[in-house]
Amino acid sequence: MEIRSAAVIGAGVMGSGIAAHIANAGIPVFLLDIVPQDVKDGRGNDRSVVARTAIEKMLKTDPAPFMHKKNARLVTPGNIDDDLEKLATVDWIVEAVVENPAVKSDLYARLDKVRKPGSIVSSNTSTIPLKNLIEGQSDRFAQDFLITHFFNPPRYMRLLEVVSGPATRAEAVTSLSTFADKRLGKGVVQCKDRPGFIANRIGTYWIQAAINEAMDLGLTVEEADAVVGRPMGIPKTGVFGLVDLVGLDLMPYVSRSLLKTLPPGDPYRDIYREPELFTRMIAEGYTGRKGKGGFYRMN
Ligand code: NAD
């Protein structure tokens, strides 16, 4: 099956970048988010304001150097209440909403009623196993469903983890993987359906280890990044800057899901222990670049 049109649901850090990247490949894409509560309460009349604002931001940034077309204008903003039925025309739907299984599950049930038969649906989840995501969904949905785990920033990071389940149609995996390779310039890695897949299992291990160690040793963020950034292959942002980019609020989801896989007493449990500092920072709105800032100031 050839992918000629797409939709991305969730216009946050990841969804907006994924939509812009697909558009940069010359593919028209709908980008849908929720209708914000203040608009519902009558304080504003743009029901697609979240997606529209995200697209405006994307238009200000360049596509990845390996993409040929500057086509971010091919993204059409919308919202999940008014525009869901438009998804009946698209070949591939990417779900990039918050990392909350209940929200994802409700959305899949709604999507399944309107999507085109045989269209591919994929989730950008960082942590939730595919078998949990398809629980309670139709057989037809499970056959067309896979995980496409993009990395942040999704327009520039080459890696794409693809996870399929026992019910996923082989043709859906092949079509999507070929499209990601040839049109999106991604290096596709097939992963087993386990928490954190491959990269987050390893990444979370060293990110949390670096943060816990810096706190135990009383190092400043700059001191810690000076020591660990280059050896870990991320000299530009360092470990703490990477966490700011990913979003502090996402990190506990990843570490908790990995912790669940380790038996009591396993020595790695200590490394996946969630830094208490995260809880305090998140509560005060320091979720990283998308919030008031994170370990580094944003202004
Ligand atoms: P985010 O919080 O920046 O954005 C999520 C967006 O989803 C928000 O704009 C929110 O309004 C919207 N949303 C929530 N419920 C919705 C619904 N029912 N319908 C439509 N839109 C809805 O989150 P993010 O960091 O972009 O993460 C999105 C997904 O990508 C998550 O599953 C996350 O685990 C995964 N992911 C994130 C990163 C990262 O570095 N942030 C990397 C890889 C994967």
pLDDT recorded at residue 171? 97
Residue nearest to atom 20 of ligand 1 (CA): 33
Q: Which atom of ligand 1 is nearest to the CA of 36?
A: 11
Q: Which atom of ligand 1 is nearest to the CA of 107?
A: 18
- Distance between Cα 148 and ligand 1 center (Å): 14
Q: Which ipTM was obtained for this model?
A: 0.99
pLDDT recorded at residue 184? 96
Catalytic (active site) residue 149: yes
Separation of alpha carbons 288 and 299, rounded Å = 12
Q: Which atom of ligand 1 is nearest to the CA of 245?
A: 40
pLDDT recorded at residue 205? 81
- Distance between Cα 142 and ligand 1 center (Å): 21
Among 35, 55, 86, 97, which residue has the most ligand 1 atoms within 8 Å of its CB, making it the best to mutate? 97
Instruction: Kindly report the length of the chain.
Output: 299
Residues with CB under 6 A from ligand 1: 9-15, 32-34, 50, 80, 96-99, 103, 107, 124-126, 149-150, 152, 246-247, 250, 290
Among 8, 14, 39, 95, which residue has the most ligand 1 atoms within 8 Å of its CB, making it the best to mutate? 14
Separation of alpha carbons 155 and 118, rounded Å = 26
pLDDT recorded at residue 194? 83
- Distance between Cα 11 and ligand 1 center (Å): 7
Domain 6-191 - what CATH class? alpha beta
pTM: 0.90
Out of 21, 104, 115, 149, which one is annotated catalytic? 149
- The side-by-side arrangement of strands in the sheet containing 145-150 is 75-79, 29-33, 6-9, 92-95, 120-123, 145-150, 159-163, 187-191
- Distance between Cα 261 and ligand 1 center (Å): 23
Burial tier of 211 (Cβ tally within 10 Å: 0-12, 13-18, 19+): buried
Cis before 153? omega within 30: yes
pLDDT recorded at residue 286? 94
- pLDDT mean for each 10 residues of the chain (299 residues): 96 96 95 97 95 93 77 88 97 96 97 97 94 97 98 93 97 97 96 88 84 90 89 85 91 85 82 84 93 84
Strands 92-95 and 6-9 come out as parallel
Q: Which atom of ligand 1 is nearest to the CA of 125?
A: 32
Residue nearest to atom 4 of ligand 1 (CA): 12
